[in-house]
Amino acid sequence: MAIDYNANDIEKSQVTATINPMSIQTAYPNAAEKDFDNVLATEKGWFNAESFASINFVSTSIDMTTEKNAVMKGNLTFLGVTKAVSLDVVFNGAMTKQPFTGKPTMGFSATTNIARSDFGMSKYVPNIGDNVEIMIEGEFTHSGE
């Protein structure tokens, strides 16, 4: 995840995120019987990581709704399908000197819902829910550049 933060005009900031589908962790209770996380990550009908090695998000706009809340719109590319999504964002705070790194740091939370079938992941719909809630917790440290 990366943020190009514009402190003078937050709405001109840009966020990008890349997720490796091989990083999926479900905590499925019968994982000892079968590597369920690997099944979801690699098999066609699920994340199909061999054909689609990343899930990507690029913001297109940020609209501040209050001092600490915003709606961030952008394009989500998942399984080769790109669709516009809207995330509800909360600014959690900032520090000029984070206690562990000593660098300026700020944190955000974001949520959205998608229908996985809109992106081509329709395996077992409707028996397994189509609506997926996405929750993102991000902390950004100033790189010094």
Tens digits of pLDDT across the chain (145 residues): 888 888 889 899 999 999 999 998 887 776 556 788 888 999 999 999 999 999 999 999 999 999 999 999 999 999 999 999 999 999 999 889 888 888 889 999 999 999 999 999 999 999 999 999 999 888 888 876 5
pLDDT of residue 24: 86
pLDDT of residue 145: 56
Residue 56 contacts by C-beta under 8 Å, 6 or more apart in sequence?
16, 17, 18, 19, 76, 77
Phi, psi of 58 (to 5 degrees): -135, 120
pLDDT of residue 32: 59
pLDDT of residue 75: 98
- Domain chopping of the chain, boundaries: 2-141
pLDDT of residue 36: 83
Please give the model's pTM, rounded to 2 decimal places: 0.86
- Please tell me the distance from the alpha carbon of residue 129 to that of residue 39, in angstroms, as a whole number: 18
Residue 129 contacts by C-beta under 8 Å, 6 or more apart in sequence?
none
Mention the CATH class of domain 2-141: mainly beta
